Structure 1
Amino acid sequence: MDSPLTGTAAGVPFTALPPAGEGPAPLIVTWHMLDAPRSDAAFAAALPMHGLPAWRVHLGMPMCGARMVDGSMDAGAALMREDPLMAYLYPFVRQATEEFPAALASLRAQLPLDDGPIGVLGGSLGGAVALRVLAESDIPVFAGAVVNAAVRMRSVVELFPGDYPYDAESEKAVDSLDFVARADRIAARAPLLVVSGELDHPGLRADALDLVGALGERSALLSVPGLAHPLAEEPGIEPAPQLPTAREVDAGLVSWFARHLPAAGAVAGGNS
């Protein structure tokens, strides 16, 4: 396999995996988890989606990977302790979504991409970014996928200890990141694969099933036995060997995106 390319796009670090085949190719862009794998390079190793005739560009989330403060996740952890929703979860999703159009334009200037619709993929909190791109942007998307995603941010907040002290501002923020409530808009934009580990947090798994139900025929569910929330071993910052459960997720993503790629999109080796 070709070596990954690394760089920045409008200030956003990325790890890019080139397509199988020559010439301009479609783009699939991803946003990683804040659990392991918690960097663009580590996410690329966990879910490389080899064999697709598309660029897979894995973007770094705020304060992760190359954007860590002083080379560690400590600054992000401090924000999480300060206020898990309004200092951590919500601004991370908002920043990653808002910086994406400029990053996409920069990627198109740097890489031999075609000018057609893109694919989007997100894991955990990165799944909320992918869903927000679908729910709020007008960027053309041919297909999306999420893995153990933050489908309803209220469920993610409930994973933190104690009762969260909601006020009017935080209620508005958390409700804006309820993507079951926005399923009609998402379904109108692109077909969506919802990947859910059978051992994921119960609230997140229930939300995944609710999203599939709300999306109807525009969605598909891939339920993965033995998969908890993370896709890689700790610490999850550097690329690591692909775990068997991640390999199963990866195979499902390859099949899904191959099925929906624009005309160029048959998988090298014949998977579909």
Structure 2
Amino acid sequence: MREAIEGVAAGVPFVALPPADADAPAALLAGWHLMEVPASEQAFAEAVPMAGLRAWRVYLGLPLTGARLPDGGPAELFRLASEDAVLNVFEPVTEQAVAEFPAALAALRDRLPGADGPLGVFGGSAGSLVALEVLARGDVAVEAAAVVSPVARLAPVIGRNERLFDVTYPWSPRSRAVADHYDFVRRAGELTTPLLIVAGEADDAAVREPARALRERLGDRAELVEVAAMAHEFAPGSPEAKHVDAAFTEWFGRRLRG
């Protein structure tokens, strides 16, 4: 059994877990982690390994996190978020991650043996914004997708953070336009790829309700799994992470063939 590979693909840090059958053609799954636990490509790989799939599972590092933290480290990222979470964090992280994905994908296909099968994408929380935007833009052909603790609508999540951190977000015309863009319930018609949505029953209504609304708008293009007792985060090895992993593994195993 080949070991996990850590590296950089077209400037994007990644962790890649090899397929169960090293001698067969493999699908390629690529995804983006949360900014809450599991908050790195390594942690997301540990939490949701999807072992047993005939697919390379690649966990990509988000911009402004991990090895790509801004000068000043986590304190500077926190400052940027406190100043304007939409314009300083959510928008630039999502836009950069989406823009750099095609080149990273090409580099991964070249580097990972046999990774020339169908493509799936996945993401959690902030990483789900990237996955959903990749689907909506259609710059790469994706056969199936999955999101967990999804940001299906950005504006309510900003409200959640206001309650969580006891702050008031300074909405501006520009930030409202960005939040409107990242409203995938409104943009459901742009999402034509089969989509699995996994949400925690104990998550904030700002996440749960848009997740359910997106499922309703997508109809038979989507499935919704709600995990009992799961809030927004899911630590590697926790019962919640195991539920997420099982749901993702079953979904991609059914939807993708190497």
- Aligned equivalent of 1:7: 7
Q: Deviations over 1:198-230 (max 9, x none)?
A: 011111100100010000011001100011111
Please give the alpha-carbon distance, in whole angstroms, between the structure 1 residues aligned to 2:83 and 2:171. Answer: 14
- Aligned equivalent of 1:249: 244
Amino acid aligned to 1:77: F
SS in 1 for 2:59: strand
> Do the aligned residues in 1 keep the contact of 2:41 with 2:59 (CA within 8 Å)?
yes
The one of 203, 206, 209 equivalent to 1:200 is 203
Please give the alpha-carbon distance, in whole angstroms, between the structure 2 residues aligned to 1:69 and 1:170. Answer: 21
- Aligned equivalent of 1:224: 227
Higher helix share: 2
Please give the alpha-carbon distance, in whole angstroms, between the structure 2 residues aligned to 1:114 and 1:39. Answer: 23
In the alignment, is residue 46 of structure 1 matched against residue 47 of structure 2?
yes
Please give the alpha-carbon distance, in whole angstroms, between the structure 2 residues aligned to 1:28 and 1:61. Answer: 16
Please give the alpha-carbon distance, in whole angstroms, between the structure 2 residues aligned to 1:42 and 1:121. Answer: 15
- Aligned equivalent of 1:122: 123
Amino acid aligned to 1:3: E
Please give the alpha-carbon distance, in whole angstroms, between the structure 2 residues aligned to 1:39 and 1:71. Answer: 18
Please give the alpha-carbon distance, in whole angstroms, between the structure 2 residues aligned to 1:40 and 1:51. Answer: 19
Following TM superposition, by how much is the alpha carbon of 1:24 offset from its aligned partner in structure 2, in angstroms?
A: 3.4
Following TM superposition, by how much is the alpha carbon of 1:135 offset from its aligned partner in structure 2, in angstroms?
A: 0.5
Structure 1 residue runs of 5 or longer lacking an equivalent are 233-240, 265-272
> Do the aligned residues in 1 keep the contact of 2:147 with 2:196 (CA within 8 Å)?
yes
> Do the aligned residues in 2 keep the contact of 1:28 with 1:121 (CA within 8 Å)?
yes
- Aligned equivalent of 1:19: 19
Structure 2 residue runs of 5 or longer lacking an equivalent are none
- Aligned equivalent of 1:269: none
Superposition map of 1:23-38 within 5 A: 23-38=24-39
Please give the alpha-carbon distance, in whole angstroms, between the structure 1 residues aligned to 2:169 and 2:75. Answer: 22
Matched pairs, number: 253
Please give the alpha-carbon distance, in whole angstroms, between the structure 2 residues aligned to 1:70 and 1:79. Answer: 11
- Aligned equivalent of 2:156: 155
Q: Deviations over 1:36-86 (max 9, x none)?
A: 111100100000000000000000001222223479422211110111110
Distance 1:70 1:164, change over 3 A: closer
Amino-acid identity (%): 46
Superposition map of 1:110-149 within 5 A: 110-149=111-150
Amino acid aligned to 1:194: I
Please give the alpha-carbon distance, in whole angstroms, between the structure 2 residues aligned to 1:242 and 1:70. Answer: 32
Q: 49-58 vs 169-178, which deviates more?
A: 169-178
Cα RMSD between the aligned structures? 1.6
Distance 1:4 1:70, change over 3 A: farther
Please give the alpha-carbon distance, in whole angstroms, between the structure 2 residues aligned to 1:216 and 1:259. Answer: 18
TM-score normalised over the length of structure 1: 0.89
In the alignment, is residue 176 of structure 1 matched against residue 181 of structure 2?
yes
Amino acid aligned to 1:27: L
Following TM superposition, by how much is the alpha carbon of 1:185 offset from its aligned partner in structure 2, in angstroms?
A: 1.5
- Aligned equivalent of 1:237: none
Amino acid aligned to 1:178: D
Q: 44-53 vs 94-103, which deviates more?
A: 94-103
Please give the alpha-carbon distance, in whole angstroms, between the structure 2 residues aligned to 1:2 and 1:75. Answer: 38
Please give the alpha-carbon distance, in whole angstroms, between the structure 1 residues aligned to 2:230 and 2:18. Answer: 28
Amino acid aligned to 1:251: A
Amino acid aligned to 1:222: V
> Do the aligned residues in 2 keep the contact of 1:116 with 1:140 (CA within 8 Å)?
no
Please give the alpha-carbon distance, in whole angstroms, between the structure 2 residues aligned to 1:87 and 1:70. Answer: 14
